[in-house]
Amino acid sequence: MSAMKPEGRPCRRRYSIDRKLLADHSSKMLTFGMVSGPWGFDPLILLLTAMIAEAVIGEARLVFRIIPHPVAIIGGLADILERKLNRDNRSQVDRAFRGAFVLTLVVVLCLAVGLGVVWISQSYPYGWVLEQVLLITLLAQRSLYSHVRRVAIALETGGVADGRTAVAHIVGRDPQRLDGHGVARATIESCAENFSDGVVAPIFWYVLFGFPGILIYKAVNTLDSMIGHRSDRYRAFGFTAARLDDVLNVIPARIAGLLLVLAALFTPATKPGRALKTMLRDGAKHRSPNAGWPEAAAAGALGVALGGPRFYAEGAVAEAWMGEGSAALQPSAIRRMLYLYAVACLLTVLLVTLLVVLRLMPLN
């Protein structure tokens, strides 16, 4: 009898300790617990400082004149594989399987590279600098602002011709079919959509899964922009990439829409209530399952009409209208969108700051 373990409180205490250890172990599955090496910074702190640095320095073009940009490397690999495997003499089913193979290969490679970067970041003194620099390159707050601002300046100073040239860098539609109002609408739509794709979504997947998460997302998004078209050449080959990109953007697109709604609270001459109403009513009208949410929120906030018929390389698209205002937009509407976008980016920074505070707050 004396060798038996006592019943009651000691057992409950041991169970409590085991449960705490299990919770600590489970937390390491997410970014919130990925500080495991002797030299690593908390990933959320790296993210916050990277967001601030990217907002200040932008694309760091001088660096990438010497070394290739990570997205350029991914795009170059995808381009080589596409030219090798996407042959016109193949059946649509065969081309679809080949496109899925390309997507899988690129994702696996990015996963391996991402895990390698995390290992270096956590295992070596100043290894975190590598993750920090790469993280800055994968965010697009400042670069998107700069591209959108260039269109506004081009319209104001050079008219429709210069506006078409500037907007061609940020939209996929045929710029030569756009008048001045069309250039302004396309610019605002691109700003809203890319706020989701280039800012919110990368941050979302980094918060969940660290550097592997953001790198895989950028790879899928790059493949979608390259081969996820509805033309005869890419319809089958890019099908898997396009659908996976849709899945990865389901939550970020709606978060982006809500951030634009909140940004309207602090932006002159915008209405957050109308932004929310328009987003909920018109967000699903877009042919993309995700792009319509931030675009409709922007349309409602600014009191303008976005969307409508448009022309792509594969032909005309009878897109639905979003919003109830005028579609005859001037460059001043782009300026208002830039203000709204900047506030939304600031709110995103504040949201990540809140996550950092919660992460560092001691648990009782």
Residue of 296, 344, 317, 300 whose CA lies nearest to 189: 296
DSSP letters spanning 132-167: HHHHHHT--HHHHHHHHHHHHHHHHHHHHHHHHHHH
- Specify the pLDDT at position 1: 41
The tokens describing 325, both together, are: 């205002």
DSSP letters spanning 319-343: PPEESSSBS---HHHHHHHHHHHHH
* 135-178 residue pLDDT tens: 999 999 999 999 999 999 999 999 999 999 999 999 888 888 89
**Residue 6 within a domain:** no
DSSP letters spanning 20-56: HHHHHHHHTTSGGG---SSSPPPHHHHHHHHHHHHHH
**Residue 230 within a domain:** yes
Looking at every residue in the chain, the average pLDDT score rounds to 88
* 58-90 residue pLDDT tens: 866 667 777 788 999 999 999 999 999 999 889
Torsion angles phi and psi, residue 249, rounded to 5: -100, 0
Assign 77 to helix, strand or coil: helix
DSSP letters spanning 287-318: SSTTTHHHHHHHHHHHTB-EE--EEETTEEE-
DSSP letters spanning 218-271: HHHHHHHHHH---STTTTTTTHHHHHHHHHHTHHHHHHHHHHHHHHGGGSTT--
Q: Which domain holds residue 310?
A: 37-360
- Specify the pLDDT at position 69: 87
Residue 7 clears pLDDT 90, i.e. is over it: no
- H helices of 58-140, where? 70-85, 92-123, 128-137
Residue 350 clears pLDDT 90, i.e. is over it: yes
Residue 134 clears pLDDT 80, i.e. is over it: yes
How many domains does the chain fold into?
Answer: 1
CB 199 within 8 A of CB 348: yes
CB 237 within 8 A of CB 172: no
pLDDT band at 29 (very low <50, low <70, confident <90, very high): very low
Least confident of 9-23, 220-234, 304-318: 9-23
**Residue 21 within a domain:** no
pLDDT band at 37 (very low <50, low <70, confident <90, very high): low
